[in-house]
Chains A and B, each alone.
Chain A
Amino acid sequence: MKLSRHEVESIAHLARLEISADEIPVYVDNLSRIIDFVQQLERADTEGVTPMAHPLNMTQPLREDAVTEADQRELYQRNAGAVEAGLYLVPRVIE
């Protein structure tokens, strides 16, 4: 199955990935090949099979709703590109 240029652009937008115009044809080709390949799954007879949600069919454990972590904001914010007064900075979103 060949994906269209438009489809690839829309996937890139959904994934919030900037893809340059000259890279688009490469992704059209690569993604089409990958989708073609995984389409083999159509041949599998999966009628009535329960989708697998966990490799060992285990469920998520629960714990008490209690605070277990100490506040380490300063340590964590050292990895941020832009912070001010303990806040993460992003371009203005509200005019």
Chain B
Amino acid sequence: MHGRTLAGIARALRAREFSSEELVSHLLARIERLDGELNSFVTVTGEAAVAAARAADRQLAGGSAPPLAGVPIAHKDIFCTAGVKTTCGSRMLDNFISPYDATVVERLRDAGVIMLGKTNMDEFAMGSSNETSYYGPVRNPWDLTRVPGGSSGGSAAAVAARLVPAATGTDTGGSIRQPAALAGITGIKPTYGRVSRYGMIAFASSLDQAGVLTQTAEDAALLLKAMSGHDPRDSTSVNAPVPDYAAGLGESLEGLKIGVVEEFMDQGLDADNAAAIEAALKVFEALGATVQRISLPNIGLSVPTYYVVAPAECSSNLSRFDGVRFGYRAKAPRDLEDLYKRSRGEGFGAEVKRRIMTGTYVLSAGYYDAYYLKAQRSRQLIAADFRRAFETVDVIVGPTSPTPAFELGAKVDDPVTMYLNDIYTIGVNLAGLPGLSAPCGFINGLPVGLQIVGRAFDEGRILNVAHRYQQETDWHARAPGGAFA
């Protein structure tokens, strides 16, 4: 049962091939047996999941079931879940029981989806390797000595190991696409504003967006449809109709104009990685698409721009953690300042503190113009490059990550080396565009991702491009062997 896609599971449940309770119990047993090594879950909500599965089975028998009734998934532990611990991978929230559900959680439940648990992540979504979590690193099921990417590393590892058919994630600079690439699965970050962020713990509010990690583009289309749409409780949520993404899958790619970013292909891309991308482009050409080189002249500014904007916003967002209203509280404070300083100093890990301090520095008196305002100007240049490119092409295709999964500990000593993992993904967040990563090959047994970027609110097109690719190739169907088979 566990190898099936989410769409396949939804069909099998409707055909009564197996019950939701059988499936949920099977997956919970797999998590119990295999997750000790992977560490992809922070919390498993087994009892509630079995009860929800029984209820879904009754709905399925009664013929009144919502579209995804009885389908199990996991939520990244950044989404608030009422009555369930919501940690954001931090000691700061180790004791936090959310009083309410995130809109994403609520909408997926309304669509019939069952939560199996909450997945591990880099602390407050700050990291590219899932090594900054208070709950320890997540391991990559393709090679347990390697990282699964981050920050949605638990979601990526759990889906790759087929512990769940799909999981939610969030992406501020690549945190869905990069782990999807390193774990050999599909992941989509929608357009800024497409999915409500109500109840999604904030990191950098001009960049954060929720999405999903799945086995296939079709599965992503089904979940994205269920979780998208306007939400008055999130002021950045866009009031625009949500297309039926799954209904648009399978459309011809005849005449599709694909842009390939020369700055990405020519500068320092590993030869094997480039070969995998070139091979994918051949598949698209055979499907009737045309490929042309394009230039994003300011894309080289995206990583330094991001590492001013994101820490600045993080330092502001994380000022809410004061040890008073919720979260970690230091013992025996001498005075109010000591309570704030020690609650934050003891509750946050090293990377979060680095980013808060970087953000505080770039926003501080005398430096604001030189760093923050300068970064907001260069962000405009990067976004304008994308706008110009989309006047001549329909999608932009290229690498997701500069390397396949690296070894645990390989990049933890130098924050800047770690930051460069997101060189291909960050520009997309700065421009607010939708981006997807789909598996497109292997290097030394490790998966490689193909990134597909679209115009704002053109999720349907990038999902269809990935879907047509997945109809022609079987990289997405490969799963780790050994204990995970």
A residues with CB within 8 A of B: 3, 7-8, 11-12, 14-20, 27, 30-31, 33-35, 37-42, 44, 46, 49-56, 58, 60-61, 63, 72, 75-76, 78-82, 88, 90-93
Q: By the criterion of a CB under 8 Å from any partner CB, how many residues of chain B are at the interface? A: 73
In whole Å, how far is A17's beta carbon from the nearest beta carbon of chain B?
5
Partner of A55, one of B307, B308, B360, B383: B383
**For residue B209, which residue of chain A has the nearest CB?**
A55
Contact B341–A16 (Cβ < 8 Å): yes
B residues with CB within 8 A of A: 95-97, 99, 191-193, 206-207, 232, 235-236, 238-239, 298, 301, 303-305, 307-308, 315, 319, 322-327, 329, 333-342, 344-346, 348, 353-354, 356-358, 360-362, 364, 371, 373-381, 383, 414-416, 419, 429-432, 456
Partner of B361, one of A11, A56, A81, A93: A11
Contact A79–B381 (Cβ < 8 Å): no
Contact B323–A81 (Cβ < 8 Å): yes
Contact A18–B342 (Cβ < 8 Å): yes
Q: Knowing A16-B341, A46-B381, A79-B326, say if A40 contacts B301 (CB, 8 Å).
A: yes
Q: How far is the CA of A32 from the CA of B75 in the complex (A)?
A: 36
Contact A49–B341 (Cβ < 8 Å): no
Q: Knowing A38-B307, A90-B339, say if A54 contacts B206 (CB, 8 Å).
A: yes
Q: A11-B360, A18-B346 are in contact. List 15 more A-B contacts (CB 8 A).
A: A16-B322, A34-B415, A37-B303, A37-B416, A38-B308, A41-B308, A41-B374, A41-B375, A49-B381, A50-B380, A51-B376, A55-B207, A90-B336, A91-B334, A91-B339
The 10 closest A-B pairs by CB, nearest first: A55-B432, A18-B345, A81-B329, A51-B376, A46-B377, A79-B326, A18-B341, A52-B380, A15-B360, A49-B377
Partner of A12, one of B323, B357, B379: B357
Partner of B304, one of A7, A16, A38, A78: A38
Contact A52–B99 (Cβ < 8 Å): no
Q: How far is the CA of A76 from the CA of B99 in the complex (A)?
A: 6
